Each structure stands twice: as structure tokens, then as C-alpha cells.
A = this chain, B = another copy of it.
Amino acid sequence: MDKPYVIGMDMGGTNTVFGIVDARGNVVAKSAVKTATHKDINLYIDDLYNELLILINSVGGVSKIRGIGVGAPNGNYYTGNIEFAPNLPWKGIIPFSKLLTDKLGIQAALTNDANAAAFGEMTYGAARGMKNFIMITLGTGVGSGIIIDGNVVYGHDGFAGELGHTNVVRGESARLCGCGRKGCLEAYASATGVARTARELLSIRKENSLLRTIPIESITSKDVYDAAVEGDEIAKEIFNFTGKLLGEAFSDFVAFSAPEAIILFGGLSKAGDLILKPVVENMEMNILVLWKNKVKVIISELKEADAAILGASALVWEL
């Protein structure tokens, strides 16, 4: 192949990781720069450029690179812009694809991180051969990438697929979400949501729990996982509660796009059956008869360390 490599880049609030990927999905070289420390986007681009050039030269130079795919919070596929991302240091609208192309001289494609993960799963992971599925990313937030007829759903404005911000709890007691609204799935099923459930449950309940050995304000979803693995009842209840809300939400998602599968990705999905079992149970309990026992819920098959790079790189094959 004339240009045998693509670059995949995953921009997070703290770090930006990137790698060179061949057509078979092997990450042949990778590196990273800090995101948060660059208050000026131009200094960030300079830093990125220097690190990228080392990788690019290691595979024979820019002429070997087909393009660069980027997954970024609030990334818009249509415009190539990052728009009003609350967790990035640059405010307003950043024309990121254009900045990259101007600097590197290679074409760039950008989308949000969950869409990139969905692309990666379809190209290299558990969704190979699937035309209709939904990717749910359970991380600091809850993101989603929706695939219909083999294409990512971008919608009218490029921002479709914000399933973390659909309502799962109504009424006064619903939790405030980071988006400023109440009762969003993200306020419950994200890593921070799980930690919050832990704090709430520990304060209203009297039972012993391994979690009580940790200062209540510093409990993380990882702590809850570790306790659940040890058989801790409160920790298991936290997973059951989280799985219930996810499963109920999934039954509504299915009514929208009738996917073949819903794929879980990111931190919380590593809990395996602890989260999968209550999700499936509650989804099946709430799903329209039409779809009972028809929709798979599976955990991502992408290799954790390379998943984000692979996902973003998969974007380029669409260019």
C-alpha cells in the first residue's frame, strides 16, 4: 500500500495519547503529551507536532501516513471543531482538524471519544460484522456512539449520541448532573456516579462494609469494585443499583434503533459480570416484548491500552 499507516489520537482532559496503526490494527509505535498543562492551543499543537514527528519518522516519514483520526471530548465530525469542551483547557470553538492539517500536511478526521470507540469496535473489536449497535462508554462520564447501518450517527449538527444525558431518574430526588440538568444517566452510571452511590448508601445504611475502611469522600468506583470482588454486600448492591439504571435506560435505547448489541467500554465495564448481570436482567425486565432475549449486551474486546488509539485511527479509513 502506498500509504500503509494511519495515526490514531485520543485526547483526554489530562493526557493526549497517539500511535501509528497499520491496516491490521497493530499499534506499531505510540507516545503521549500532556493536555491540561497547555493553556495555549498553539503551544499544545507545537508540542504534539514534535512528538508526532518522531513517530512519523520512525515509520518512514509523512509520505507513509494516510491520515490522522482524533477522538476528543465534544469533537464534531462535520466541522472538525472541538466545541465548548468543559474538560479541556481551551474555551469556545477550536478548529482542531484544520490546525493539525496545517501543521502536519496530512488530512485529519475528528469525532467525539465515544464515536471513536464505536468505530474502533466495529473495525477491530467485538462489533466486527455488526451494522447496528450502540457503544456505551462508562468512564468519568457516560458517553455513547451509535452505529446504524454501519455508520456513526452524527445527526443534524454532528453532536448526536449523548445517551449519558438521557433521563433515568425523575422528580425532586434526582441527582444533579455535571451538565446542569437533573437525573441524567451519567450522574449514576459514571465512575463518579458509582462513587456517589457508595457515599449515599454508606451514610444511610448501618451494615458493615469493607468500604467503611476508606475515608468516605475519597471512595472511588475502583474501591467499590475491589470490595464487591471480596463479596462485600454493600458494594454488590451499588453495582446492582447502577446496573438497574443502565438496564432500564438500555431498554429505551433499543426502542430507538433496535441494535443487535449494546457494547460496554471503559472503566466500569471492567467489573465484568458484577455490572453485566444486573444490566441484562433489568434491560430484559423492561424491554418491549418484541426484543426480549434478542439484544446482546457485551463488553468491549479492544485491548485497553490501545483501544482509544485504534478507535480514532479507524476514522481515517472512512476519509
Contacts and interface: CB of A to CB of B under 8 A. Distances in A.
B165 A255 contact: yes
A176 B283 CA distance: 18
A256 B132 contact: no
Give the interface residue-count category, chain A: 35 or more
A4 to B, nearest CB: 31
Interface string A281-305: 0000010111100100000000000
A255 B170 contact: no
Interface stretch (A56-64, A103-111, A150-158, A213-221): A150-158
A166 B252 contact: yes
Nearest to A288: B165
Contacts of A260: 156
B289 A160 contact: no
Given A148-B148, A151-B149, A166-B252, A159 B289 contact: no
Copies of this chain, tallied across the complex: 2
A163 interface: yes
23 contacts: A146-B256, A146-B257, A148-B155, A154-B258, A155-B257, A155-B259, A156-B258, A156-B260, A158-B258, A159-B290, A161-B256, A162-B255, A162-B288, A162-B290, A163-B256, A165-B288, A166-B252, A167-B248, A167-B251, A167-B252, A169-B170, A170-B170, A181-B288
A180 B288 CA distance: 9
Nearest to A260: B156
Contacts of A288: 162, 165, 179, 181
Main secondary structure of the interface of A (DSSP, over half): loop
A156 B131 contact: yes
Given A146-B256, A151-B149, A258-B159, A167 B290 contact: no
Interface in A214-249: 248
